[in-house]
Structure 1
Amino acid sequence: MINDSSNGMPDIRKEHAIETYKSLISIATESFKLLFILNGGAVIALLTFIGNARSKCMWMPDMRIPIGFYLAGLAACSMLLLVSYRVQLALYGESVLGAKEGAHIKPLKTAQILFGASIAFFVMGSVAAVYYFR
């Protein structure tokens, strides 16, 4: 528990800030898992379906485009993980090492773009898969 030096009582604002930061890290971790499961699971599901259909000599539409979108989503998520490390490193430098404030902004914006791209690739892959199955 963090104590305010003036009266020995806990400083709720500081504690709240620390707990909020911890929960943000947890949310980010779960978001990475979600993106990997969505895109990776879609690739595995499509490949399994295609393999099963081909073993039964059924006609299958060309699913390279949907699989490509899902793989792009996985690539975006992988890059997101690396960029997120850069964000945390910059925040650490700002708070502990006295680095220039705001150094984390550019990698943070990049991370947000990659997160959105991974979701967008999943949606585009799903739409393409549905289109090719018609």
Structure 2
Amino acid sequence: MPLIQVWMRSGKDKAYKAAISKSIHQAMIEVMKLPGDDYFQVTCELEEENYIFDPNYFGVPRSPDFLMIRLSFNARPAAVKQRLFETIADNLVKSPGLRREDIGMIIIETAFENWWVHARAVDPDTGTDSRIGGA
């Protein structure tokens, strides 16, 4: 049950936001082997005065389209997380057409026992949802 949060500057249309959501979710399915219905995202649109970042963050020019994405889920190996970052970035470049320079991501990991939702089928050996593939 990953929780995905996206922060962006306000003003983009519904199709643009849907493309961001789909691009992230497709990467989660591909890399983490999530079932298609394991999908919960929150998009926060902020006005310029409330979305503050250096336009040359890490010495790289960033545009007003800069996204910050926080992915919260149970622990995964470093290689899986790196592959997820790259796949999300690749997908967002394809659709909605973001520049890699305008994408920032962070993963927050939590213990398996710290997630709950009614009807979740937990594998007693791994502590993960029993529908998740071997990521």
What TM-score do the two structures reach when normalised by structure 1? 0.27
Q: Which of structures 1 and 2 has the bigger CA Rg?
A: 1
Greater fraction of residues in strand: 2
What TM-score do the two structures reach when normalised by structure 2? 0.27
Considering Cα pairs closer than 8 Å and 6+ residues apart, tell me whether 1 or 2 has the greater RCO.
2
